[in-house]
Amino acid sequence: MRFFLKNWVPFLAVGAAFATVPFMGLPAFYESFLYLVFHWIVLATSWNLLSGYSGYFSFGHAAFFGAGVYGTAVLAGKLGWPFLATLPVAAAVPALLGVGLGAVVFRLPALRGELFALITLALMFVFATIVLNTPLDGGPGVYMSNVAVPALAPSPSGSFYLMALVLALATVGIAYSVYRARFGSGLFAIHDDEDVAEVMGVPTYRYKLAALALSCGLAGLAGGIHSVFVSYVTVGETFSGWMALNVILMAALGGTRHWAGPAVGATAVTIMTFYFTTSDYAIAGRALVGLIFIVVILFMPNGLLGRFAVRKPLATQASAAAVVQTNAVQEKTEEPILVVRGAKKAFKGVQALAGVDLEVRRGEILGLVGPNGSGKSTLINVVSGHYPIDGGSMVFEGRELAGEAPHRVARSGIARTYQIPRPFAHLSVLENVALPPMFGQVAMDRARAESEAWRWLEFTNLSAKANRLPGELNLHERKFLELARALASRPKLIFLDEVLSGLTPSEIDGAIRTIRAIRDQGATVVFVEHVMRAVMELTDRVVVLTNGRSIAQGAPREVMRDQQVIDAYLGTARA
C-alpha cells in the first residue's frame, strides 16, 4: 500500500491535472499539439520496451504502428465498425504480427542486434507492399471522415487529446512497471550478455517475445487512434523510415535505459520538429534532427537521463540478515546427484568431449583436472546447456538434462562461474548478484532477490562495491562477483571454472576458505582448477580428463600418482 501511494498516486495526479485541459476552453491548437506530444511519447516508450531494455533495436516500429492504423482504418472507415470497438483489434493485430516475427527471428542462432534491425526495416517495406496491393488500401488511401469520434470532451480535438493522454499514461506506467520488476532485470541482462542471462535462468526467448508483443500492441493502439485523428491515411505517410528514425532518436536522446527516457526525448523532439516544420526551414530542420542524432550517439551514448540509468536498489544491506536458509545442509554421501554418461561434443573437426563419464556425489567437492584443452570447460558448458550436447546423457537428480534449454537447467538448481568473468556490464554489482535468485529454483521478486544478493556480497566481501558497475572492480573482485552470482541462486550443484587463476597466494587462501564455506552451506561443488595446492587441500575426489575422456578418478593423492595421469600432464618419456 505504501508503495502504491508513493509511486502511483503522483503519477495519477499528473494525469488528472492534464485531463482538465480540454475543459478549460483553450484554443484547439493546444489540444492538438499536446496530442502529438502524447502520441510520440507512446511510440517512443513502446519502442523502448523491447529495443531500449533488451538492446534489440527495431527499425520497423512503423510497420506495427501501421498495422494498427490500417486495423482501425479498414474496420471503422470501410466496414463501419464503431471507432472504440476497433481499438482492441488495432492492438491485437500488431501484437500477433510481432509474435509471429519474433517466433521466427528470435530462434535464429545467428541473430544479432544489427540483423534484427535490418530485418525489421525490411518488414516495414513488406507490410507497406501488402497493404498497398490488397483491398486493405489498394492505393488511394482510406478516408475516415465518416467515423464518429466519441464525445469525451467538449470538442473532437479534446477527445483525441484525452485518448492520447490515457494511452500515454498507460504506456509510461507499463514501461515503469517493467523497468522495476523482474521482467526488466531479465531484459537488461539480455541487453548486456544474452548467453549468460540464459545460463543464469532468464527465459530469454519468452522474454524477448513478450516485450516485442507488448511493444507492437501499444504502437498499434497509437496507430488506431492516430488514423482517426488524421482522418485520411495513406501507405506512404504511414509506413515511413522517417518515423522509425524519429522514434529511435527520441529514445536515444532521452536515454534508452531509463523508463522515462523516451518520454523526455519524445517531448523534446516533438517541440523541436514542430518549431521547424512551421517555420520556413523545414528541410534544414530535418538535417538538424539528423545532426542532433549523430551528436547524441557520439557524445551522450546514454542519453539525457543516462546518469540515472543504474536502477535504485529495492533492498538495503540491513535486509540481508532477514534472509532464511533454503537449502538444508548436506552431508557428504555416496548418492550421485549428477551422472554423465558418454558425453560427446565436437567443434567442427575437434572432438572436445569424446564420451566423458562422470559421477558427482551429493555433498562432495569434486576436483576436475586435466591439461589445457582436455575438455573441462567444455564439459561445464555442455552441462549448463551453454552448448548443446552431441551425444550421451546427463542425469541430474533423476532428470535428463540433454536437450534442455539453459534457463531450465539453471532452474533445476545448477549454477556455474565463467573462467573469464562475464558480469553484466551495465548492471550494478548488486543487480548482477540479484539476477540469479530471481530466476533460480525459487523465483524471487526483485526486492527479496536483492536482500539475498546483499547476503552473498557480504559473504564474498563485496558489500562496499554493491552500487558500482563491474567495470570498476579489479580482477580479484570480479572473480568474487562471479562466485557471488553463482551462489546467490542457492544452487544444489555449482561448477567453479578456474576461480583461482590469476590470484595471489594470499588471495587463494581466502578463496579456499570461501569454497569450503560454500559446501558447508549445502551445495555440491565441482571444482575445475590448475592450482594443485588448492585441489589437494579442498577436494574429496578427483576426476582427470585428457583429450575429452576421463582417464582416472579417486582420492586426490592416489590419482596424482597414477602413471596415466603423470603421462597426460608431463608427456611420455622417450625410450
Partner 1 sequence: MPSLTLLGQSILSGVFIGALYGLLGLGLTLSWGLLRQINLAHFALVFLGAYLNYQLAAAGLDPLLTLAVTAPAFFVLGVALHWLLARYSVSPLNTLLVTFGFMVMIESLIQWVWTADFRRMETHYGNVRWKVGELYVPLPELLTLIIAVVLASAVWATLRYTDLGKAMRAASEDAPVAAAFGVNEKLLALLLSGACAAFAAVAGICLALSHTMAPAQIYAWIGVVFAAVMIGGLGNPLGPLVAGIFIGVSEALTMALIAPAWAPLVSFTLLIAFLLFRPQRVAA
Query: Does residue 286 belong to the site contacting partner 1 (CB under 8 A)?
Result: yes
Closest CA to 257 of 207, 302, 215, 295: 302
Mask: binding to partner 1, 245-274, rule CB under 8 A, as x and -? x--x---x----------------------
Mask: binding to partner 1, 46-65, rule CB under 8 A, as x and -? ---------x-x--------
Q: At residue 115, what is the residue type?
A: L
Minimum distance of partner 1 from residue 168's CB (angstroms)? 25
| Angle (nearest 5°) at CA 4 between 261 and 454 | 75
Query: Which part of the chain contacts partner 1 (CB under 8 A), choosing from 120-128, 367-375, 385-393, 520-528?
Result: 120-128
For β-strands 391-396 and 336-347, DSSP reports them as antiparallel
Which CB sits closer to partner 1, 133 or 325? 133
For β-strands 232-233 and 142-143, DSSP reports them as antiparallel
Say how far apart CA 449 and CA 95 lie, in whole Å: 31
Judged by CB under 8 A, which of 132, 272, 395, 405 binds partner 1? 132
Query: Does residue 283 belong to the site contacting partner 1 (CB under 8 A)?
Result: yes
Say how far apart CA 398 and CA 274 lie, in whole Å: 65
Query: Does residue 328 belong to the site contacting partner 1 (CB under 8 A)?
Result: no
Minimum distance of partner 1 from residue 301's CB (angstroms)? 7
Minimum distance of partner 1 from residue 289's CB (angstroms)? 7
Strand partners, 542: 367, 554
Query: Does residue 109 belong to the site contacting partner 1 (CB under 8 A)?
Result: yes
Query: Does residue 531 belong to the site contacting partner 1 (CB under 8 A)?
Result: no
68 within 8 A of 91, measured Cβ to Cβ: yes
Which CB sits closer to partner 1, 133 or 326? 133
Judged by CB under 8 A, which of 105, 152, 309, 442 binds partner 1? 105
Which CB sits closer to partner 1, 144 or 244? 244
Which CB sits closer to partner 1, 238 or 550? 238
Query: Which part of the chain contacts partner 1 (CB under 8 A), choosing from 169-177, 227-235, 282-290, 358-366?
Result: 282-290
Which CB sits closer to partner 1, 290 or 391? 290
428 within 8 A of 467, measured Cβ to Cβ: yes
Judged by CB under 8 A, which of 12, 26, 85, 115 binds partner 1? 115
Query: Does residue 14 belong to the site contacting partner 1 (CB under 8 A)?
Result: no
| Angle (nearest 5°) at CA 433 between 324 and 305 | 125
Which 293-322 positions form the footprint of partner 1 (CB under 8 A)?
293-294, 297-299, 301
Query: Does residue 110 belong to the site contacting partner 1 (CB under 8 A)?
Result: yes
Max Cα–Cα distance, the chain, nearest Å:
103
Judged by CB under 8 A, which of 125, 143, 275, 347 binds partner 1? 125
Q: How many residues does the chain have?
A: 575
Applying CB under 8 A, the site for partner 1 has a residue count of 42
Q: How big is the chain by its Cα radius of gyration, in Å?
A: 28
What is the rounded end-to-end Cα distance, in angstroms, of the chain?
81
For β-strands 524-528 and 541-546, DSSP reports them as unpaired
Minimum distance of partner 1 from residue 296's CB (angstroms)? 9
397 grid coordinates: 537428480
Query: Which part of the chain contacts partner 1 (CB under 8 A), choosing from 9-17, 118-126, 201-209, 450-458?
Result: 118-126
Which CB sits closer to partner 1, 14 or 115? 115
Which 150-209 positions form the footprint of partner 1 (CB under 8 A)?
none
Which CB sits closer to partner 1, 62 or 515? 62
Say how far apart CA 90 and CA 97 lie, in whole Å: 11
Which CB sits closer to partner 1, 1 or 110? 110
Judged by CB under 8 A, which of 30, 78, 88, 113 binds partner 1? 113
Query: Which part of the chain contacts partner 1 (CB under 8 A), choosing from 86-94, 147-155, 285-293, 552-560?
Result: 285-293
Minimum distance of partner 1 from residue 204's CB (angstroms)? 17
Closest CA to 134 of 81, 228, 67, 86: 67
Strand partners, 324: none
Strand residue runs (E) in 159-262: 232-233
For β-strands 336-347 and 414-416, DSSP reports them as unpaired
Strand partners, 543: 368, 553
Judged by CB under 8 A, which of 19, 21, 289, 405 binds partner 1? 289
Q: Is 373 left (phi over 0), alpha (psi -120 to 50) or beta?
A: left
Phi first, then psi, for residue 542 (nearest 5°) are -130, 140
230 within 8 A of 75, measured Cβ to Cβ: no
Minimum distance of partner 1 from residue 381's CB (angstroms)? 19
For β-strands 541-546 and 549-554, DSSP reports them as antiparallel
Query: Which part of the chain contacts partner 1 (CB under 8 A), choosing from 119-127, 312-320, 385-393, 439-447?
Result: 119-127
Query: Does residue 277 belong to the site contacting partner 1 (CB under 8 A)?
Result: no
User: Whose grid coordinates read 544474452?
Assistant: 194
Minimum distance of partner 1 from residue 60's CB (angstroms)? 10
Query: Which part of the chain contacts partner 1 (CB under 8 A), choosing from 79-87, 280-288, 355-363, 546-554?
Result: 280-288
User: Whose grid coordinates read 501507405?
Assistant: 235
243 grid coordinates: 518515423
Query: Does residue 122 belong to the site contacting partner 1 (CB under 8 A)?
Result: yes
Question: What are the respective helix, strand and coil percentages of the chain, to the nearest 5?
Answer: 60, 10, 30
47 within 8 A of 219, measured Cβ to Cβ: yes
- Residues in contact with partner 1 by CB under 8 A are 55, 57, 104-105, 108-111, 113-115, 117-119, 121-123, 125-126, 128-130, 132-133, 241-242, 245, 248, 252, 283-284, 286-287, 289-291, 293-294, 297-299, 301
